[in-house]
Structure 1
């Protein structure tokens, strides 16, 4: 639901100060409470914000019963002069989740929001409040800072309180980023979370468990539960309350390496991959504070502006792809779709129209790392890369967009990716490529945020990638647990005065593993 703050309600005050005015409806939230907590609604999984722009952002919360979400908004942490917004419903049809788009906010402002749920059957009964915050994007050229990564609760590594839970979220929070770019595999719907996992040194990893994670997700409620499992972690909830999320999906929101040609494993009773994907997408949209497309309900790809220095282009590399076959076609067609022609055309238009200094392309999968559909037998294609040589199959889309970027004069593109569960920096050099009709650019890889660590993957020479940095377990040391410390995230800082972008790859102990500073080209 969109809540617009009427400009005529601001009176003689500036937009920057409007949040400090007193709304006549603010007293709506001052309702009497029942004495027993069990008789009152509850904010069950914390709060989130997301898809923040210069004038607004989404807020999200979930109740434990049918209720109305009540939101107060203020420009100060004290909420002394807060504005109460009209309530919206949280019903069983959305698993009691509710999200509200706040608009007409001042740019570059810390925004504080407070969420309660009001019982539908007893309107005078409300939950305890939960507070969150976000910062709207700047209208001026101030510094911008954000983090990115992917891959959460994978390979059976769930929430282990003895190991501090999902520690990487607490580490990222220390940097006070403007937002998190979540590069997919937000959950592992196909991954079981057992109570205990025996480690290589004989120690026991102990997970918090829930009944739904004892099997693969097939029903809508099971997909929902996989997302809610991650919100049980104290670090995740604390992070979500402070840092907005820009989110995309990858394969494990449905199942490993899913595509239209997926052969569903025997552990599944549901045999229709399209049905599983539809349920997974509904749960994904319910559980994150994404702005929704009116033109294509359920659409995930979108562009997000975060001020004069930054546009982020969020890709969807699942919904429109062809099957994970050999993908060695010499000409472009449905079998070689990865982002698909409509999304490809949208990306070209969006890049051409961007006036931001930096254009970050959020691709959940790296461009030149080979990921096999059948890893055991090294068969089939899961990612873009098809092996050394000229562009084939899915690589034709990358060749097309890289050529377009060059010929259209689009400058300062950077690709941020995850998926492969290790950290890397790749510089794409046309002089060393099989396909050379592009300008040099960087791709940075991070993750896992909290999952098994793998890699490194084989490199494909089609677009001339040069490995400038890599940290991965190496052969014989795959699927390392989070307790081994090889959990990675990326940190980007854009300096307001110069427009320089500094990219740093870090581990969960906040060690800066590698860093580079990029100078913007005039555009």
Structure 2
């Protein structure tokens, strides 16, 4: 289990009631002897919600059985009792239970315990709730963002922890779309950071956050860290997540087959690191691997008549950042690209939401190379743009309308409109891409737009200097609301306190 570095926490702002009130849980201090009952150490989460269920997640401090009660009544009268998996060190104490057979569009309450394997004692219960997906013309509200605990900005007890999660919870979304960079496995934390104006930012730190992650245990510690925050746990207990990954779950700007030349890594093979990171990711996130097209990340979810979400993986199948920018590159891979256009073609939802972990038109460099989709060159699509052009062209040819792209990655918020009238090619339909982040990390931007697909930055909110701390008001999340009666979709770009900075209503 991940133990908190108590000496470091003392230096980071005190221990005891003050820290607990500030939103930090201390794993390991709730029990002191081998006779103590099991403890659920990192809360409860739900994810990959459907019309009849969801994935329920928890973690225990010792081998024990996951026990679950499920009810439509918060008092748990007439609750259904379920025996979940045995939580063992093999999965770092984590476990998931697939809930099924639940009514559509209903509020579901759950209560979780961990029972000792001898059946003599059980943990204190943890409770949560979620709403199953509707099947008809229901109103839908969901939030999205990415980028958590990056660039040296971790859990700061002085400001109450990761408060953007509390702002999202106040919006009462039906689900949360986590657009990647769910952790920063390559971003060690320091106990304190002195800001340019002399203020001191204080971080809670754990041993796994003091260096770049390389071992499986260190990757597991990245996910455990974020769940130390009370705001994150409270949000996870009430709002189901649909999670994807990007680069920082492994290391910055990674691609398959890469060999690192960074001195901080003793393991230089990215494929080895990615395998360990993927295991930790799937252990610690409430993901239904049965729904993933290849058991990994990309998958889709219908949410009522009006919304279907297509979750992409633009990391696992991309070509090298050093690849020829003028050739025919890959960022989805042929199988995933066909899965996407075929899924969008079959979808009967009013709005098809494409959750992309990389923006389409923003130039995202990797030194002298290209990290993102856009190759930074004018003219016809090339490099990874070539594959995206095929997707857009095929959708236009099949007359697939109402496709909206959501992303994070670049650590600011923006609204981009793409049009063939401004593009180097004219064989695709106009569409919107909305960017929102970071949720709790350094703020950057704005990036330069590549002209190939004719983008226009309609709105941008970005800091004046790079790596602006979360104290300065440039944390962001986005919100999508779909009116059940009219089918109209409204996008809100919000700051970390929940204030709307800009909005746009799209007619079906």
After TM superposition, the score normalised by the length of structure 2 is 0.92
2:353 — aligned with what?
360
Of 434, 445, 448, the match for 1:455 = 445
1:50 — aligned with what?
47
Q: Distance in 1 between matches of 2:198 and 2:272?
A: 41
Of 325, 330, 336, the match for 1:343 = 336
Shift of 1:390: 1.2
Query: Residues 452 and 479 of structure 1 are in contact (CA less than 8 Å); yes or no, is this contact kept in structure 2?
Result: yes
Name the CA shift for 1:166/1:294 in 2 (closer, same or farther; >3 Å): closer
Query: Residues 53 and 304 of structure 1 are in contact (CA less than 8 Å); yes or no, is this contact kept in structure 2?
Result: yes
5+ residue gaps, structure 1: 1-33
1:370 — aligned with what?
363
Query: Residues 148 and 438 of structure 2 are in contact (CA less than 8 Å); yes or no, is this contact kept in structure 1?
Result: yes
Shift of 1:199: 0.7
Shift of 1:261: 3.0
Query: Residues 50 and 245 of structure 1 are in contact (CA less than 8 Å); yes or no, is this contact kept in structure 2?
Result: yes
- The superposition leaves residues 400-440 of structure 1 with CA deviations (integer Å, 9 ceiling, x where unpaired) of 01011111111100000000000000000110001211111
- The superposition leaves residues 468-514 of structure 1 with CA deviations (integer Å, 9 ceiling, x where unpaired) of 0001113xx11001011210000000000000000000001222100
State yes or no: 1:134 paired with 2:130.
yes
Shift of 1:327: 3.4
1:125 — aligned with what?
121
Q: Distance in 1 between matches of 2:210 and 2:248?
A: 16
Of 426, 442, 459, the match for 1:436 = 426
Of 112, 116, 120, the match for 1:115 = 112
Point out the more displaced range, 105-114 or 297-306. 297-306
Query: Residues 147 and 172 of structure 1 are in contact (CA less than 8 Å); yes or no, is this contact kept in structure 2?
Result: yes
- The superposition leaves residues 195-236 of structure 1 with CA deviations (integer Å, 9 ceiling, x where unpaired) of 101111111100111011110000001000000100000100
How do 1:86-235 and structure 2 match up within 5 A?
Answer: 86-120=83-117, 122-235=118-231
Q: Distance in 2 between matches of 1:345 and 1:519?
A: 27
Shift of 1:76: 0.9
What secondary structure does 1:499 align onto? coil
Shift of 1:250: 0.2
Q: Distance in 2 between matches of 1:280 and 1:55?
A: 30
Query: Residues 285 and 298 of structure 1 are in contact (CA less than 8 Å); yes or no, is this contact kept in structure 2?
Result: no
Number of aligned positions between the proteins? 476
State yes or no: 1:41 paired with 2:38.
yes
5+ residue gaps, structure 2: 1-30
Query: Residues 291 and 299 of structure 2 are in contact (CA less than 8 Å); yes or no, is this contact kept in structure 1?
Result: no
Name the CA shift for 1:209/1:303 in 2 (closer, same or farther; >3 Å): same
Shift of 1:294: 7.6
After TM superposition, the score normalised by the length of structure 1 is 0.89
What secondary structure does 2:176 align onto? strand
- The superposition leaves residues 4-47 of structure 1 with CA deviations (integer Å, 9 ceiling, x where unpaired) of xxxxxxxxxxxxxxxxxxxxxxxxxxxxxx99796111110000
1:510 — aligned with what?
498
- The superposition leaves residues 432-457 of structure 1 with CA deviations (integer Å, 9 ceiling, x where unpaired) of 00121111100000000000000000
Q: Distance in 2 between matches of 1:35 and 1:189?
A: 30
1:31 — aligned with what?
none
State yes or no: 1:65 paired with 2:53.
no
Name the CA shift for 1:311/1:294 in 2 (closer, same or farther; >3 Å): closer
Q: Distance in 2 between matches of 1:465 and 1:380?
A: 22
Q: Distance in 1 between matches of 2:151 and 2:84?
A: 40
What secondary structure does 2:83 align onto? coil
Shift of 1:318: 1.0
Q: Distance in 1 between matches of 2:83 and 2:116?
A: 15
What secondary structure does 2:342 align onto? helix
